[in-house]
Amino acid sequence: MKSLACALILLLVTSAAHAEDTIAPDRIIDAAIGDWNKDGKPDLALLALAPADDVTSIGIYIYVRDKEHLLLKLAAAAPNKVWGRGEPGGIFGQEPSIAALPNGSIAVMSQNDAIGRDRWHQTLTLAFRNNAFVVAGYTFDYRDNLKADRSYSCDYNVLTGKATKGGKEFPTEAKTIKIEDWNDDIGHKACGESP
């Protein structure tokens, strides 16, 4: 009887762990199709709201085709990676989006163009390198609605370490960072700004 109870507990814990990884269909807010791994077959990238009641944490989920069966397989999962509003009827100007780029990369955009004096747009460019999805680029545009002199734009090529801010190029550290390990503070620091 004791072993049966232990087996049931183990089954419930395993099921709960997999439930957290599951993307509910009504939580998907945007999708893009492209050939991320350049094998000639269409792949998929999704943005999905975090589970539970959190309406501002968005996850990035990237799928590539299985070479043997042509089925999509999860290649990268980065929950709680993007800030935004994705609930139906949410706040306009805070919606994130995802798009396929012509070169096979993925652009993940987020923004606050709706509330407060701090307005911004951010783009993460993801690329498939060495069998992993890495952050290849970080672009951040900021404007203060009350103080125009605090506004700036920064473009950081994470892979080469080159950055441009206010029209001026400067070197920074080149990095290879998987999307799962990315933190926006890395981009802010490279651009010489605090978030």
Judged on CB neighbours under 10 Å (0-12, 13-18, 19+), 179 is buried
123 domain-assigned: yes
Higher pLDDT among residues 56 and 12, named by residue: 56
Task: Assess whether pLDDT exceeds 60 at residue 25.
Answer: yes
Q: What DSSP designation does 50 have? A: P
Q: What DSSP designation does 114 have? A: S
* Alpha-carbon torsion (107, 23, 130, 184), positive or negative: positive
Question: How many domains does the chain divide into?
Answer: 1
User: Minimum mean pLDDT among 109-113, 133-137, 161-165: which range?
Assistant: 109-113
Report the distance separating Cα 9 and Cα 3, nearest Å: 10
Task: Assess whether pLDDT exceeds 70 at residue 14.
Answer: no
The two tokens of residue 120 are 């911004």
20 domain-assigned: no
CB 78, CB 124: distance < 8 Å? no
168 domain-assigned: yes
31 domain-assigned: yes
* CB-facing half-sphere around the CA of 142: CA atoms within 13 A: 19
15 domain-assigned: no
Domain limits at 173?
Answer: 27-190
152 domain-assigned: yes
Enumerate residues 6+ apart whose C-beta is below 8 A from 32.
44, 45, 98, 99, 100, 106
Q: What is the largest distance, in Å, between two alpha-carbon atoms of the chain?
A: 72
181 domain-assigned: yes
CB 23, CB 48: distance < 8 Å? yes
Mean pLDDT, residues 9-33 taken together: 61
18 domain-assigned: no
